[in-house]
Structure 1
Amino acid sequence: MTRIDNGPERDRRQEDSRSGGQRLPNDERRLHSSSFGAAAGAYAEHRPDYAQAAVRWALEPAPGPRVLDLGAGTGKLTGTLLAMGVDVVAVEPDPAMLAELRRGNPAVRALAGSAETIPLPDGSVDAVVSGNAMHWFDMDLAGPEIARVLAPSGVLAGLWNVFDDGADWVAGFAAVTGSAAIGPRDVPASWRVEAAGMHLPRKGGDARFDSPEQAEFPHGQGRTADSLVATLGTKAGVLVMPERQRDAPLSRTRAYLESRPETADGAFTLPMLTSVLRVRRS
């Protein structure tokens, strides 16, 4: 595990990112966040799960076992929670994503709803977690809703799977693919600047929550060139492209992977990190 400093310099970067830095305008954010249903099957097949150590750290301060997976998508984080024996309920707004979640996790209570309108009673969960989704929430509305459903001293945690660009070939992969396909949360350095404090309420910005803590956990994923290209095809930056433009970043990526000794010959391990932000309800 890597703990990340929460000092003044990071607070300054948080304010910079909140002031508009890299965040999408609301209309673009809605377009991107609603794009995944068209690729729900591919998302369920190719997106990675989450490091159990990261999930354990996220839930460590929770006062009890009841967990809400919010913006649960096709159930990638839900499945990790289930494997850990957690008492989980999932909430997802997209009908196609919710259908995949229910198909893959038939025993889970899975509800239609959103972060801005959570279909649960007050104080009904001890933790709210969100996997690769919290950056889509309208926190002006979602923050009070999350605080409402959390028990006293409950935990809110966002988890993001990011490519570990400490490996040369992964850094090259990110450069070749381009920012239209790989967003700012997809590599560690950008994630720390853009995600920290922007999507989690924090002391001084929302008195319902204490200041955030951050940590990162190694989480390698088995891949082939085909499956990694398919994973890239489930990114919002690709899904919102006009169809005629989607082939270009995917073709560049495939050519790059076929040119690298680390990835040219069958299966390989994609170095990843599960990055976590957590806060406690005041």
Structure 2
Amino acid sequence: MHRFDDRTVLVTGGTGGQGSSHVRAFHAEGANVVIGDIDTARGVALADELGARAVFTRLDVTDEGSWAAAVLTAESAFGTLDVLVNNAGVQNPPAPIETTDPAVWSRVLGINLTGTFLGIRAAAPALRRAAGGVIVNVASTMGLGGTAHYAPYVASKWAVRGLTQTAALELGRDGIRVNTIHPGVIATPFIHEPAAGATTAIADVYSPEPFAVPRLGEPTDVTRLLLFLASAEASFITGSEYVIDGGLLLGPALQRSAA
């Protein structure tokens, strides 16, 4: 027996660095996986790689019709939808608020925040039909404090926190748990490649050396926490936030003195 036998999991942004890690891990734990992404070629390739119990659906998280089609794909292919992972997200090119293009603001909030809202809205009826389920929203440590030059991303991830807690209150009596994960700097293309319109990647200006766990996070670090929150082991947890950042938010660690 695996933790997710006979359960169906939809992961948005499912072909990305974190998303593909989540998809593979759920599949290895027995789940039927629905890979939601706008990258059809990579999504089909990942579904083909996994084989049985994996399907791809082209999912634009900002589009209600696309969400309806994704939920229908899950229920048509596997009978139920049991877990939604709102993982899709984009970063903004760094800029002060006064020079941030409103189009960038709208795009980042549209994907990171409205996409999460539409996902909850579309998935909730299906989760009820499955007699309960789980939603996990992937936010960021930038949703826990201000970060200069990243106003659209920061605002979107702060808002996901409130959305998560509201959804947890509204859906709890239906047996649907809703929680948030706040990753720190995770070693994926998201931080190793510049955001659209940017020339510098986050990894180019960031060093984890001063912090308690002096390394970048790996996608599997986040995936292991996600699997726990989506499992029956976390059946009494809802509306909660989980930071996974190696101690980044704690501030610089004390340096050992020379012997």
> What TM-score, normalized by structure 2, do the two folds share?
0.48
> What TM-score, normalized by structure 1, do the two folds share?
0.45
Greater RCO, 1 or 2 (C-alpha within 8 Å, sep 6+) = 1
- Name the structure with the higher helix share: 2
- Name the structure with the higher strand share: 1
